[in-house]
Amino acid sequence: MTRTTRVFLICFAALSLTSLRADVIPTLTSTSPTGSDFTWNYTTFVTVAQTVQKGDFFTVYDFGNFVSASNVQPSNWTFSSSLQGTNPPLVLPNDNPALLNLTWTYMGDTPIDGSSLIGIFSVVTNTNQLRDSDFAAQATRSLGPNAGTKIDNIGRIDVPIPEISTLVPILSVCGLVMATGVPVLLRRRKHP
């Protein structure tokens, strides 16, 4: 092997290692009917070079309303919802303060090593109509000189379309703008 080939292989290996991503990634895998409502199922994975340790979490932003106490998650995970956050400190997700966020936090004592399936996380809501929003997660780096430090990630995920009650303030502002604009247009027609 020539010196040039060795240098090329070393550079390629170094670039490959630096581009390795370590993430917690929830993905909507199904919405299934539950009576007159729908269960939203998110399958979640932890990728290579990362572990999920006690206190690590992921948040699905702007999910909106859901049936109270309908959440289901793997053992050692706790569920919470809030209008803002929970946010990993190193990413900046879009977060509408009028729509509920869903957060699952790991409380187990045994780390979940990457690359593996964490499990299915579910809640029930009144629609199966979807749009996209942000998710963000925090976990722990497991390899390299920064092993043990927190690592955050952000991405896009499917969530329900908000209920009409959430949209009413937005629609009322749009209606007001339209109502004030129509007389102006009518006045312009009367004047040649």
- 26 within some domain: yes
Give residue 15's pLDDT band: very low, low, confident or very high (50, 70, 90). very low
More confident residue, 177 or 51: 51
Q: Higher confidence at residue 177 or residue 49?
A: 49
Say if 55 falls within a structural domain. Answer: yes
For residue 6, tell me if it sits in a domain.
no
Per the domain annotation, does 167 fall within a domain? Answer: yes
- Domain membership of residue 10 (yes or no) is no
Please state, in angstroms and rounded to a whole number, the distance separating the CA atoms of residues 55 and 152.
13
* 163 CB burial (10 A radius; 0-12, 13-18, 19+): middle
The range of the structural domain enclosing residue 108 comes to 22-172
Tell me if 179 is assigned to some domain.
Answer: no
**pLDDT at site 173:** 60
- Asked whether the beta carbons of 47 and 21 are under 8 A apart, the reply is yes
The residues with which 155 forms a beta bridge, in sequence order, are 135
Mean pLDDT (whole number) for 44-64: 95
The whole-angstrom separation of Cα 64 and Cα 91 is 21
Q: Would you say residue 53 has pLDDT above 90?
A: yes
Read off the CATH number of the domain in which 138 is found.
Answer: 2.60.40
Q: Is 185 inside a domain boundary?
A: no
d(CA 136, CA 153): 6
> Would you say residue 7 lies in a domain?
no
Average pLDDT over residues 47-56: 94
- Strands 57-60, 150-160: pairing kind: unpaired
Comparing 52-61, 67-76, 123-132, 166-175, the range with the smallest average pLDDT is 166-175
What does the pLDDT average to over 129-149? 95
Averaged pLDDT, 130-141 = 96
- The confidence score (pLDDT) of residue 23 equals 87
What pLDDT is stored for residue 114 in this prediction? 86
pLDDT band, very low/low/confident/very high, at 27 (cuts 50, 70, 90): very high
Number of domains in the chain: 1
